Amino acid sequence: MTKQKDEKVDVSRRSFFTRTAKAAGGLAAACVAATGLTKAVTAASASAPTVKSKAGYAQDNQQQLEKMSKQQMVLMSNGEKDQMLDEILRHHYKETA
């Protein structure tokens, strides 16, 4: 009777370990799979032009148009040309800290 009881205990312990191992293995496998799939999905979504990135490019274009529309192209007098060149060259040779 005692022997039979011991055997039952052995069996349930083994099944407990088995189940634990199964659960741990299953969890690990699920983690690996989930990580891999997440990465695949992320990589795919990064390479494809998303709505957000398209909107970003469009917004940049619009921004540049607006900036340029405020610009004015002006003719430089000889005096201004000299001054500009002088300023640029002086700035170029200036020692900086």
Partner 1 sequence: MSEEKQCGCHGSCQGSENSEVDESRRDLLKYMGVASMAGAMAMAVSPEAEAKAYEEWFQTHYELMNEGEKQECVQRLEERYSEEYAKNTTVSTAPALKGVLFGYALNIQKCIGCRTCVHACVQENNQSRYDPEIQWIKVLKMEKGGTSFSEHELDKGYPESERMGNYGLQVGGNAYNPAGVSIEDSQRYYDTEQVPEKDSFYFPVQCQQCEKPPCVKTCPVRATFREPNGVVVIDYNWCIGCRMCQLACPYGARRFNWGQPNLPKEDMNPKTHYYGNRPRMQGVMEKCTFCLQRTREGRNPACLEACPVGARKFGNLLDPQSEIRQVLATKKVFRFKEEYLTYPKFFYFMD
How far is Cα 44 from Cα 52, in angstroms, rounded to an integer? Answer: 15
Which residue from 12, 16, 20, 81 is in contact with partner 1, where contact means CB under 8 A? Answer: 81
Please identify, using beta-carbon distances, which residue of 65 and 97 lies nearer to partner 1.
65
| Cβ burial, residue 8 (10 Å; 0-12/13-18/19+) | exposed
- Binding residues for partner 1, rule: CB under 8 A, are 7, 10-11, 14-15, 18, 22, 25-26, 28-30, 32-33, 35-37, 39-40, 46-50, 52-54, 56-57, 60, 63-65, 67-77, 79-81, 83-85, 87-89, 91-92
